[in-house]
Amino acid sequence: MTLWNSLPLRMIRKKLRMAAVFVCLLLALTVMYHQLPVSADVTRLLTGRSANAAAAEGESGGLQEELRKMEYKIKTLEQGKKIYPEVKFLTYRDRKRILVTGGAGFVGSHLVDRLMMQGHEVTVVDNFFTGRKRNVEHWVGHENFELLHHDIVNPLYIEVDQIYHLASPASPPNYMYNPIKTLKTNTLGTINMLGLAKRVRARLLLASTSEVYGDPEIHPQNEDYWGHVNPIGPRACYDEGKRVAETMCYAYEKQENVEVRVARIFNTFGPRMHMNDGRVVSNFILQALQNESITVYGEGEQTRSFQYVSDLVDGLLALMNSNYSQPVNLGNPDEHSIMEFARIIRSLVGGASEIIKNPAKEDDPRRRKPDIARAQKYLNWSPQVKS
């Protein structure tokens, strides 16, 4: 038994309260150091709440989040048991057994939250390459939740009704770190998940990507476009990995009657993104907060469009539960140049960061904007949060 376990409850409570006060002080100092008036806007950028709402509450998102976590821990301790967010009760008939691969990652954990709140039984499978246990720790121990430390490159035998297949590194530094592993995850891993879907007659949704369009020659990109990908470039392990994963889905659909859904996801942002995993939004915010130079590649004229993670989760659920089996773009068509994004983030953060241009990256797509007509028509879906 550790010293901590042997302390009486009263002492632990006192210690936690002291820790809470200390964290609050630390955060308050950090926020003041980084200029409080602008942090509300950064909060909006990361949480989707309006700047006014954040400002009216008078606290930064980070501070609130920490306070919420601390309150939750104190409450849990006081009650002597873990308190879970309230989930809907579903009857046996409506309750599904749902597997989320990569469920401890950024998008996966938000999807898990929604499925749990809806009252389903959720199993998360993750090898924690880029995902974190803390993204789903609030569900650990819940009767409807299970977390398996497993690498999908190896077969998995469980009973499920639906599979959301999200496991794959998603940001360029992560997928380029070990290109062979990225290829294995997207090929062998996808074959394993399709094999499981076939065995248990589950429906599988693949989290594909706008990267299947490569450096596109048409604009905006619709689902009928076959793409323009360099098969031997530095991004190929991811782009081609996802392309072959799509091919596998439709081969299993045709040959084995597996029900498949394919979401082509465009850039997404929101809470639980890794601050330093090399994605544009997190990079720029971090550089601006630290008053470092904001780095754009090339002239910064390449365009991107960013959707908020709650919109993506709505789209994934709508697609999984629809009758539509062809690929569907899920993204926000509001397009900006990277240079514009750098300026917007700098002005929201309020620092004096200089924007500097680095040499262009190999195979960096020049333009990226989803045509979402298909999602609007078949899923009645369009993004609700303005980017």
Ligand X SMILES: NC(=O)c1ccc[n+]([C@@H]2O[C@H](COP(=O)([O-])OP(=O)(O)OC[C@H]3O[C@@H](n4cnc5c(N)ncnc54)[C@H](O)[C@@H]3O)[C@@H](O)[C@H]2O)c1
| Catalytic residue IDs | 238
**Is residue 170 close enough to count as binding ligand X by CB under 6 A?**
yes
Q: How many residues does the chain have?
A: 387
CB of 257 to ligand X, least distance (A): 24
Burial track 37-50 (b if 16+ CB lie within 10 A, e otherwise): ebbbbbbbbbbbbe
Exactly one of 38, 54, 107, 160 binds ligand X (CB under 6 A); that residue is 107
Task: Tell me if 45 sits within 8 A of 344, measured CB to CB.
Answer: no
8 Å CB contact between 271 and 47? yes
Nearest approach in angstroms of CB 149 to ligand X is: 9
Helices (H) and strands (E) in the chain, counts: 13, 13
Tokens 């993506």 — which residue? 312
Site for ligand X (CB under 6 A): which residue of 41, 126, 239, 240?
A: 126
| Residue 285 near ligand X by CB under 6 A | no
Establish if 102 lies at the interface with ligand X (CB under 6 A): yes
User: Could you tell me the smallest distance in angstroms from the CB atom of residue 228 to ligand X?
Assistant: 17
DSSP structure class, residue 75: H
Considering only residues 209 through 238, tell me which ones interact with ligand X, judged by CB under 6 A: 209
Q: Which residues pair with 337 in a beta bridge?
A: 303
Tell me phi and psi for residue 203, to 5 degrees.
-90, 135
**Phi and psi dihedrals of 12, rounded to 5?**
-65, -45
Candidates 84-92, 138-146, 263-271, 377-385: pick the segment binding ligand X (CB under 6 A): 263-271
87 near ligand X, judged by CB under 6 A:
no
Nearest of 365, 345, 363 to residue 355 by alpha carbon: 345
**139 binds ligand X, rule: CB under 6 A:** no
Contact 312, 266 (CB under 8 A): no
Closer Cβ to ligand X, 27 or 166, answer by number:
166
Per CB under 6 A, the list member of 48, 61, 172, 189 interacting with ligand X is: 189
Cα 355 versus chain centre, distance: 27
Q: What is the 3-state secondary structure (H, E, C) of 254-287?
A: HHHCCCEEEEEECCEECCCCCCCCCCHHHHHHHH
- Number of residues lying near ligand X (CB under 6 A): 29
- Residue 329 phi/psi, 5° resolution? -70, 135
Q: Does the protein bind ligand X through residue 106 (CB under 6 A)?
A: yes
Residue closer to ligand X, measured from CB, 61 or 102: 102
d(CA 148, CA 13): 31
Question: 164, 99 in Cβ contact below 8 A?
Answer: yes
Q: Is 267 in the site for ligand X (CB under 6 A)?
A: yes
CB of 129 to ligand X, least distance (A): 4
Stretch that binds ligand X, among 115-123, 128-136, 291-299, 351-359 (CB under 6 A): 128-136
Instruction: Give 63 or 212: the residue with its C-beta nearer to ligand X.
Output: 212
Q: Does 341 bind ligand X (CB under 6 A)?
A: no
| Nearer CB in complex with ligand X: 63/280 | 280
Q: Does 185 bind ligand X (CB under 6 A)?
A: yes
The Cα 195–Cα 202 span in angstroms is 10
Q: How far is 131 from 66, CA to CA, in rounded Å? A: 20
Among 152, 202, 248, 342, binds ligand X (CB under 6 A): 152
CB nearer to ligand X: pick between 99 and 348: 99
State yes or no: residue 353 binds ligand X (CB under 6 A): no
Q: What are the angstrom distances between the C-alpha of 38 and each of 87, 139, 341?
A: 35, 33, 16
Q: Is 207 in the site for ligand X (CB under 6 A)?
A: yes
Cα 284 off chain centre by: 18
Residue in 130, 283, 332, 353 binding ligand X, rule: CB under 6 A: 130
Nearer to ligand X, 42 or 265 (CB): 265
129 binds ligand X (CB under 6 A): yes
Q: What's the closest the beta carbon of residue 269 comes to ligand X, in angstroms?
A: 7
Tokens of 173: 């530094």
For residue 233, the minimal CB distance to ligand X (Å) is 17
Do 225 and 216 meet the contact criterion of CB atoms below 8 Å apart?
yes
Q: Based on CB atoms, which residue is closest to ligand X, 168 or 387?
A: 168
Residues in touch with ligand X (CB under 6 A): 101-102, 104-108, 125-131, 151-153, 166-170, 185, 189, 207, 209, 265, 267-268
